[in-house]
A and B are shown apart, each in its own frame.
Chain A
Amino acid sequence: MLTVLFDGIAYGMVLFILACGLAVTLGLMNLVNLAHGAFAMAGGYAALVLVNAWGVPFLAALPLVFLATAALGAVMERTLYAQVYARSHLDQVLFSVGLIFMAMAVVDYAAGPSQQFVRIPDALRGRIEVAGVGMGIYRLLVIGICGAVALALHLALARTRFGSQLRAAVDDARVARGLGIDVGLIFTVTFAVGSGLAGLGGALGADILGLDPGFPLRFMIYFLIVVTVGGTASIPGAFLASLLLGIADVAGKYYLPSMGAFIIYGVMLAVLVWRPQGLFGRAGAR
């Protein structure tokens, strides 16, 4: 029972890392980027190349993956996404679905359609027993890293100068520009960090979620649920929504294997009926 809870928390933590970038770009910058999962997939495959092919130690590969996907995100933002900020949601949806298809075909071409596994060091493979609860060391590590990232992210948005500049740029880009804030740069950095985190999540979660060319589509619904259930524009909201989703999904698949796949949709519907703006949402949907 507690083991299921523990696995659920680890799963939810990975979901949070994957989706938090989207919570910011979608929630704060109002950019419907359905291709967010493609960055996560890029991170997973970057980890695959670094660890399996080049022999970089797993833990050392994680920051590299973050940097690589963040750089990819920055380039994509400057060249492509910057063009669609001001467009309608429909345009953004079509645009990012197109990116998903391209990313899936590229990965299929480069790495093949089968599922891939990132080699995790043996030291992280074992399980330890704490007060009668079996916990995988790898999952413990995942929870540690993701928890730290979540805290750092929340503080960065709520407490730092950059965070307030971002919020100002989002609330009114023109006035923010008038105050000397470089809105374009802020958006680029935010997008890059969000993509980098997605990449990190893809690398960390490859072992838990699986990694194949279908990844962006398979998890698109999870990301959307995290962002909508968590309510846009709040890191703690997205965090709790991820945990709820992770625990519900793992527990559902464990206790009700035949209906497990439907549990998360049940949770989604319940939250939606109960609180249409999300658990922690502000009134007035975008």
Chain B
Amino acid sequence: MTAAPEETARRQLAGLARWRPAEIAFWVLVLAAYFLFPQRAALIAEVAVIALFALSLDLVLGYAGILTLGHAAFFGWGAYAAGIAAARGWEDPVLGLLLGGGTAGVLGLLGAPLVLRGGDLTRLMVTLGLATVLHELANRFTGLTGGADGLQGMNVGPLLGKFEFDLEGHVGAAYALAVLFLAFLLLRRIALSPFGWSLRAIRANPLRAAALGIPVRRRLVAAYTIGAALAGVAGALLAQVTQFVSLDVLSFQRSADGLLVLLIGGVGWLYGGLVGAVVFKLMQDLLSSLTPQYWQFWIGALLVALVLLGRDRPRAWIAGLRRPAERAAP
């Protein structure tokens, strides 16, 4: 007796969604890093922020296939929203996080019709334009944002009313990792849901996806909005952990960093953003200590080299370490 097609499909999807030992091991390693390197708490928090930003970008770029050069717009928006809230007496960090993510999501929802209006080229232009406009606005409205000097006087209250943010950044790192993990769970759920699979179908062939009855436009708007909201959360997290917001949260460099992280780790694969963030941050630290002024050159050289060598290669190496049957991991 054969099961109904829906039943088979559901079982297949559920099978793909099972947690694999390698995934559990990965998160155990992350937790271990937190306890093993207490003096590196600030670095860990920073890596978590970059990873969260890369994850949000991956949903937009890797899963939905929307080319963007301006994802920093949402990151910076979230950072400024949380930063300004904290500077104006709205001290609770979780509220600030939700505010940053929520308003960035609204911005993404409003921007999506414009971004999705044209082809790849138009998307590049509109996303880049949006980030540039926000950068210019933040630079102009010094009363609200502090302009080029950065936002001063943030006052972030204790986490959950209990844990005061300490100077060494232990609470900050734990907070950042917790937010990253929660966001990862959400994204993993999304990526492995029928919604996530439909995004992949759209990326592979929008016309065919539409013919299959997938509401292409609505799905893309949803993906873009969620990606924007998560980028906003990442920005808010950075603002709260470092207690400072500067204009560079909206810079092109920030968007490009996100792309590079995904390029290092692999696009369209949730662990790509996480692995990429770790490698990227360590490399950035190393390069900027070797050549403080010109590390940008090596970042650029790496981008070029990775594209020429084939950007799926690092991911293929990692996949090669696992058994072939497990290659359909998220």
Contact = CB atoms under 8 A, between A and B. Distances in A.
Bind each other = yes
Interface of A: 26, 32, 34, 80, 83-84, 87, 89-91, 93-95, 97-106, 108-109, 217, 220-221, 224-225, 227-228, 232, 258, 261-262, 265, 268-269, 272-273, 276-277, 285-286
Given A217-B252, A268-B125, A105 B296 contact: yes
B136 A261 contact: yes
Contact of A32 (B121, B263, B302): B121
B7 to A, nearest CB: 36
Given A221-B128, A268-B129, A91 B307 contact: yes
A199 to B, nearest CB: 20
Interface stretch (B10-18, B87-95, B111-119): B111-119
B129 A265 contact: yes
Most-contacted residue by chain A among B120, B128, B259 (CB, 10 A): B120
20 contacts: A26-B121, A32-B124, A34-B124, A93-B69, A94-B259, A94-B303, A98-B300, A101-B300, A104-B296, A104-B300, A105-B300, A108-B294, A224-B128, A228-B121, A228-B122, A272-B114, A276-B122, A285-B120, A286-B119, A286-B120
B240 to A, nearest CB: 29
Given A32-B120, A32-B121, A228-B122, A94 B252 contact: no
B132 interface: yes
B267 A102 contact: no
A276 B118 CA distance: 6
Given A95-B307, A98-B302, A106-B297, A262 B133 contact: yes
Contacts of A276: 117-118, 122
A102 B121 contact: no
Interface string B285-316: 00000000110110111111111100100000
Interface of B: 61, 67, 69, 114, 117-122, 124-126, 128-129, 132-133, 136, 140, 252, 256, 259-260, 263, 267, 293-294, 296-297, 299-308, 311
A105 B307 contact: no
A228 B128 CA distance: 13
B205 to A, nearest CB: 13
Contact of B304 (A26, A90, A99, A109): A99
A99 B303 CA distance: 8
A80 B132 CA distance: 29
A97 B255 CA distance: 11
Nearest to A106: B297
Contacts of B304: 80, 95, 98-99, 102
Contacts of A83: 308
Contacts of B120: 32, 89, 285-286
Ranked nearest first, the 4 interchain pairs of A and B with the lowest CB-CB distance are: A98-B303, A101-B300, A285-B119, A105-B297
A32 B68 CA distance: 13
B141 to A, nearest CB: 11
Nearest to A97: B256
A102 B297 contact: yes
Contacts of B294: 105, 108-109
Contacts of B67: 89-90, 93
Contacts of A84: 307-308
A277 B121 CA distance: 10
A111 to B, nearest CB: 13
Nearest to B302: A98
Given A94-B307, A101-B300, 17 more contacts: A32-B121, A84-B308, A90-B267, A91-B307, A93-B124, A94-B303, A95-B303, A98-B305, A98-B307, A101-B297, A101-B303, A102-B300, A102-B304, A224-B124, A225-B129, A276-B117, A277-B118
Most buried by A among B140, B296, B300, B302: B300
Contacts of A277: 118
Contact of B133 (A90, A106, A265): A265
Nearest to B300: A101
B268 to A, nearest CB: 10
Nearest to A89: B120
Contacts of A108: 293-294
